[in-house]
Amino acid sequence: MVTQGWFVGIGSNLTPSTNIPLIMQLLLQDFSHIHTSASIQTPPMGMDSANNFINLVIYLESSLSEVALIDLLKNIEVRMGRPRDIKNRKLIDRTADLDPLCYIATPDKPANELIIPTEAYLNGPFLELAIYLHFLPADTPLPSFTRLPMANGLFGQKATTIHRDGTPRHERII
């Protein structure tokens, strides 16, 4: 049973095939497991760059406050080399972009709390993960998107759960 927690959007457009797995490893230092959507490649939005993004949505089971979560996510961005002191940092390429999307306080009635993103780079992965976690019915329509495997296929092809520990499970482990 999934407990209360946060949906978080993750993206990178600077060596994302290296940086996304590193972001996951850093998150696993604070969380015992991470539920992930498929990874997708998208063009940059609202910025002038030739570097495509890899985006995915994760769910972190946690009772952290929004302020505490944002602090943790921004710390990871800085550790990944994203500058925090540049005025227009949303307009430059980034190694790591982590943003809280919505909090689910009552997993047995999540439909009341789901705030489904409309951005194309988040919508499909978010819906896929919400279905995987049984927050939405299995017959919820999904938009078409191309899945992109990450970390030699350990995640990114479909919604899955990554565990920090090495116990045998049906989920993938990094």
Which domains are delineated in the chain? Answer: 5-163 (3.30.70.560)
- DSSP secondary structure letter of residue 151: G
Is the CB of residue 44 less than 8 Å from the CB of residue 62? no
Per-residue pLDDT, 89: 65
Residue 121: HSE in the Cβ half-sphere, 13 Å Cα cutoff: 19
Per-residue pLDDT, 31: 94
Per-residue pLDDT, 165: 67
Per-residue pLDDT, 168: 39
Dihedral (CA of 146, 151, 152, 154) sign: negative
Other Cβ atoms closer than 10 A to 155: 27
User: Shortest CA distance to 32 belongs to which of 11, 3, 55?
Assistant: 3
Rg of the chain in Å (alpha carbons): 15
Intervals of the chain under pLDDT 70:
1, 89-90, 111-112, 165-174
Other Cβ atoms closer than 10 A to 26: 18
